[in-house]
Amino acid sequence: MVLSLTAPAYAGVFSRYANVDLATRTFETKKEKEEEKQPAMQGDMLKEGSLPAAYNAPAATQVKNTWDWDVTASYIYWQALQEGMTLGWAVPSGTASGTPAASAQRIDFDFKYQSGFKVGFGTCFNKHDAWALDFEYTRLNFTENTHKAAPTGEKYGTIEWLLSSNQTSSNTFMNNMSAQWKLNLNIADGYLARPFYNGTKLTLTPFFGVRAAWINQKYNISYTSLSGNVIASHNNSTSWGLGARGGFSGNWLLGYGFRVQGSAAGSLLYTQYNINHSESNQASTTPGNNYFSASQKEKCGRFIGEVGLGLGWGMYVNKNREHFDILASYDFTYLPNQNVMRLKGDYNNYSSEGAQDLMLQGLTVRATLDF
């Protein structure tokens, strides 16, 4: 028997399957729309095209003015600490030679806090992805003095800044040591930066640019021997450096204009030194009788590292036409192998030989006006 379906029967079968297919498609469409409405969870993969292309929103100061410049002025109160500045050794009065005894005490230079300043200016290119161009100059120039007189029962032996051949047995020991250190540190920076929001309460500012540094030092020491002779050692180095600098700063926004700011930076400079040393004759009673003098040049690479942490506050004034900001931070600047004044000569050096490190630390108070 042959089963035949009439036209209405065919239509009923096809209509039933069509309704099932339509219902399936409708369910899938509703499911996709519900998924699109649900917010993406942290760590979820995003479908291609689900979000428009975007970048981190700029965090630069926005003032209602076409100038959009800023000026900064900073007061710095820093302490310069430098290795390799030992004057000599204190030994018991009964010591028979200049070699430090087991009970010898090293006599170091007394480092103090000194005042300096920074000044800078810059501008923001709001029509070019809110990049900023800034320039800053740092100056810390000072002279420090240290005087040491041997206490009762002691004397000074093994003089650090005289050649061993210039320390005769008759004048090995000293009653007094005086030293003067003069440091002239001048640094100029130019850099590009782009501050942006990395969260609702966090902004980051990467920056890169160039740095030039001029660092000059003089270290003069005079020793008075037990017999009354005055022996002098004169040392100086002049240097200039040029290279690249980069780093970042971050701000944790606390509200009401307050923030915690941290920064870190590093630079690598091609550096050239001119080094000079001269000393008077320890065995001579004639003032200014020169025993030895020498000079040399050094060309090398030098690294400078910087970190800082501080608290800042800022606000818009004059109907948002200007913005005033103040920041107080404690900063560290590390300059390895900066003290090259001992490279020349066979000094009796019981601390360490060769180039030594310079470190700067202290308070920086900065005021900025955007207009």
Q: CA-CA distance, 26 to 33, in Å (whole number)?
A: 11
Q: Give residue 68's pLDDT.
A: 86
Q: What is the pTM of this model?
A: 0.82
pLDDT, block means (10 residues), the chain with 371 residues: 42 44 52 55 68 79 83 98 88 60 77 98 88 97 93 73 71 82 98 94 97 97 84 94 98 97 98 92 69 88 98 94 96 96 56 78 97 91
Tokens found for residue 255: 């509200």
DSSP state of 54: -
Q: CA-CA distance, 206 to 118, in Å (whole number)?
A: 21
Q: CA-CA distance, 263 to 248, in Å (whole number)?
A: 6
User: How many CA atoms within 13 Å lie on the side-chain side of 55?
Assistant: 7
Tens of pLDDT, residue by residue over 298-350, are 999 999 999 999 999 999 999 899 999 999 999 999 999 999 997 754 444 43
Give yes or no for a contact between 340 and 275, defined as CB atoms under 8 angstroms apart.
yes
DSSP state of 28: H
Q: CA-CA distance, 322 to 63, in Å (whole number)?
A: 6
Q: Give residue 59's pLDDT.
A: 87
Q: Give residue 79's pLDDT.
A: 98
Q: Give residue 351's pLDDT.
A: 36
Q: Give residue 337's pLDDT.
A: 94
Burial of 264 (0-12, 13-18, 19+ CB in 10 A): middle
Give yes or no for a contact between 249 and 204, defined as CB atoms under 8 angstroms apart.
yes
Give yes or no for a contact between 343 and 275, defined as CB atoms under 8 angstroms apart.
yes
Give yes or no for a contact between 143 and 181, defined as CB atoms under 8 angstroms apart.
yes
Beta-ladder partners of 213 = 187, 241
Q: CB count, 10 Å around CB of 130?
A: 17
Give yes or no for a contact between 291 and 261, defined as CB atoms under 8 angstroms apart.
no
Q: Give residue 349's pLDDT.
A: 43
Amino acid of residue 288:
G
Tens of pLDDT, residue by residue over 126-177, are 788 889 999 999 999 999 999 988 877 677 776 778 877 777 655 567 788 9
Q: Give residue 165's pLDDT.
A: 73
